[in-house]
Structure 1
């Protein structure tokens, strides 16, 4: 992503976008669309819905381009916040309809049995995470899937670091309790070497 052979920062792209530079917007989207989609997919667990949310997110960013303040927050943090808010809005609109899970991608290894066993364990874990209360689930996803630190998560979720630590602690305790009940199923699913 170079502009005249010079690496362009997100803040520079935001400034150009504020001046209605569509090429800068395409560059920013190209740089961050995969991260936004991965986060939306983990929250919504449906590829088509995640695509809709990401498209809506970037449309919102384009239409409100004159209000974004470069340097106030990292763009990736701002993007996570917008994606999460759009997912929450989407989820509220769809509350009467169950969210369909997507199949876990197949392991490229040739051992089909191991692949199926891992998929079953992953599904159990995904179901346990999906059963968490919404704020705990978002905190866990941002921490483990997005690799954000507690301070960044607090910024994205618009709360304090202490609140994030508490959310993560409660989420881990709940996951342990749920998975402890499924321990026998997990043990039976793992290969014996």
Structure 2
């Protein structure tokens, strides 16, 4: 039940982000930056590089906010992080 509520809130935040709501973006960032960092760190063991990955991924999301379509935000950032790590 909690997961369903959180998912719904993520969807609301994503909708607000498409309307250029930076505070909604900050909420998603604060909710998920550690997931991105920890996913990258497990594979790279380099704190500085992992911080760069967090920054780059969330910057990309913000820049593509008007065209990006995300159904499951934690799943999206987890998969995107793994892809970024794979490319390194």
Q: Normalising TM by the smaller chain, what interval?
A: 0.7 to 0.9
1:150-189 aligned at under 5 Å gives the runs: none
Aligned mates of 2:61, 2:80 — CA distance in 1: 9
The runs of 5 or more residues in structure 2 that have no matched partner are: 1-5
Aligned mates of 2:65, 2:43 — CA distance in 1: 25
Corresponding residue SS for 2:69: coil
Aligned mates of 1:86, 1:27 — CA distance in 2: 23
Residue of structure 2 equivalent to 1:79: 77
Aligned mates of 1:36, 1:81 — CA distance in 2: 9
Structure 1 position 68, deviation (Å): 2.2
Taking structure 1 as the reference length, the TM-score comes to: 0.40
The runs of 5 or more residues in structure 1 that have no matched partner are: 1-6, 92-193
Residue of structure 2 equivalent to 1:23: 23
Taking structure 2 as the reference length, the TM-score comes to: 0.85
1:58-73 aligned at under 5 Å gives the runs: 58-70=58-70, 73=71
Structure 1 position 69, deviation (Å): 2.1
User: Alignment RMSD, CA only?
Assistant: 1.5
Choose between structure 1 and 2: higher helix proportion: 2
Aligned mates of 2:14, 2:28 — CA distance in 1: 8
Structure 1 position 44, deviation (Å): 1.2
Aligned mates of 2:58, 2:82 — CA distance in 1: 13
Displacement over 4 Å in runs of 4+: none
Aligned length: 82
